[in-house]
Structure formats: C-alpha cells, structure tokens
Amino acid sequence: MEVATSILSVKKEKCIQTFYNLETAGTDYFHIDVMDGKFVKNDTTELMTEYSEYLNSITNVPLDVHLMVEDVMSYIKSFIIFEPRNITVHYEAAKDEGELLSWITYIKEHNCKAGISIKPNTEIEKIYNILPYVHTVLIMTVEPGKGGQELIPETIDKIKKLKEYISKNNLEVDIEADGGINLDNVEKIREAGCDIIVAGTSIIDSSNYKETIEKLKSCF
C-alpha cells in the first residue's frame, strides 16, 4: 500500500522544511486538497496553488491533486500546469456522466492520470460505468471539507464492495481512501483492498514522519 501525505495543514512558515522532511521520510505522493469555498466551505485555492507550484519545482515526488470544487474544468486547467501524476474530480460535482467524461478525457489528454472521488453518502454503484475510463477511485472516508475528522466506519464496506467489483470485472483501477486514517484504523483499510491511503493529521502531527509512514505502510 502506498501513502499520500495530505499537506492541507502544513504551515506556510514551515513548509520548506516540512516538504523536505516528508520527501526523505518516503511519502509516495503529496496529496493536494483543493477547495473552492463552494463545493465545500473552506477555500484553499491560493495556498494549494502556491504549494503545487513550489513542489513541482523542487521535488520528484508525484503530486496527487484532489479537486473539491464546483467549476471543475477551470481548476483542472489551473492545476495541470504543475504536472501532477493524477487529478481527481468529484462525481457529485458533475451534472451528468457526459460532463464527468469530458473532464476525465481532458485530464488524460494532458499526460495525467484521472481519478474519480465519491463522498461518504454516494453509493458506490453510481460510478461503475466510469471505472473503465479512470486510473483511480478516491473513496472519501470522511465528509470532504477539512482535515482532522474521524473516519466513518461504513465507508470501509464501500472499499470492499468496489474491490470485489474491480476484481470480478478485471478492471485496472486503484482504490485510494481519504480522511481520518491513522495507525489505529489503517489495518482495516488495507484488508478491505485499498491500494493508496491519504493521511494528513496522523503524519503531520506525528513527531517522526518516517516512522509513521513506514508503520502506515506495513500496518503494525
């Protein structure tokens, strides 16, 4: 299992040192939580733009962009220039499947992997039609909007269900879980069939990034 560190709570004054420490600690991705103040209450556009630009210029660790926004296409265009490994859009932000596919196609045509994310209350079956077109499904294990929340246990069943569907249909899609993941619940997430976990608070608030990331990966 890979680890994507959410840099949502990284303080600006400490960001250079923190990014360096996360890279040497072995994070597999920097997870960039982009919020527009509309799709969710908080607005992180300015800070995440600044961090993405900076990270693209200093590191080879891939960027994993998670768009929690209403005006999806213009945000894809703003973030694609930072050459992320993948961009994930929300199922709930699209008016229909056609619009969703137009975003996914645009992302893939620009040398980037495409992901689709669903909120805790969205049924997993809703995205089955889209699976052949995406590289990743990001299952929100908390309500999108802020870090430091507690994982909603029912979302683990969605991971299991999706994993079974992916295997049964021979699809090549990675499952990523995002929100409230820590050393106490990561084993359950792994058992459910997750490929990538996103962790913010549990890494950033820990005293030793390397140890925490290694433990998250191997699930002690």
Cα separation, 33 vs 147, in Å, equals: 10
Cα separation, 145 vs 148, in Å, equals: 10
Tell me the closest approach of the beta carbon of residue 98 to ligand DX5, in angstroms.
Answer: 26
Max CA separation in the chain (angstroms):
48
Cα separation, 35 vs 145, in Å, equals: 7
Tell me the closest approach of the beta carbon of residue 123 to ligand DX5, in angstroms.
Answer: 19
Pick 19 or 29: Cβ nearer Zn ion: 29
Contact pick of 78, 118, 158, 179 for ligand DX5 (by CB under 6 A): 179
Give the catalytic positions in this structure: 33, 178
Q: Provide the 10 A C-beta neighbour count for residue 164.
A: 11
Contact pick of 18, 27, 33, 69 for ligand DX5 (by CB under 6 A): 33
Q: Among residues 177, 179, 202, which one has the least CA distance to residue 190?
A: 177
Total interface residues for ligand DX5 by CB under 6 A? 21
Question: Which residues inside 190-219 make contact with ligand DX5, applying CB under 6 A?
Answer: 198-202
Phi-psi region of 52 (alpha: psi -120 to 50; beta: other; left: phi over 0): alpha
Question: Which residues inside 54-73 make contact with ligand DX5, applying CB under 6 A?
Answer: 66
Contact pick of 31, 90, 135, 163 for ligand DX5 (by CB under 6 A): 31
Provide the β-strand partners of residue 136. 115, 174
Q: Which residue is nearest to ligand DX5 (CB)?
A: 200
- Looking at this protein, which amino acid is placed at residue 179? G
Q: Which does 130 bind (CB under 5 to 8 A by kind): Zn ion, ligand DX5, none?
A: none
Q: Which does 159 bind (CB under 5 to 8 A by kind): ligand DX5, Zn ion, none?
A: none
> Computed from CA positions of residues 206, 211, 215, 218, in that sequence, does the dihedral angle turn out positive or negative?
positive
Q: Does 180 bind ligand DX5 (CB under 6 A)?
A: yes
Question: Which residues inside 96-155 make contact with ligand DX5, applying CB under 6 A?
Answer: 142, 144-149
Work out the angle at residue 182's Cα, subtended by the Cα atoms of residues 53 and 126, and round it to the nearest 5 degrees.
75
Q: Which stretch in 43-51, 98-106, 176-184, 188-196 sits in contact with ligand DX5 by CB under 6 A?
A: 176-184
Tell me the closest approach of the beta carbon of residue 33 to ligand DX5, in angstroms.
Answer: 5
Cα separation, 121 vs 118, in Å, equals: 8
Tell me the closest approach of the beta carbon of residue 109 to ligand DX5, in angstroms.
Answer: 25
Do 115 and 134 meet the contact criterion of CB atoms below 8 Å apart?
Answer: yes
Binding site for ligand DX5 (CB under 6 A): 6, 8, 31, 33, 66, 142, 144-149, 178-181, 198-202
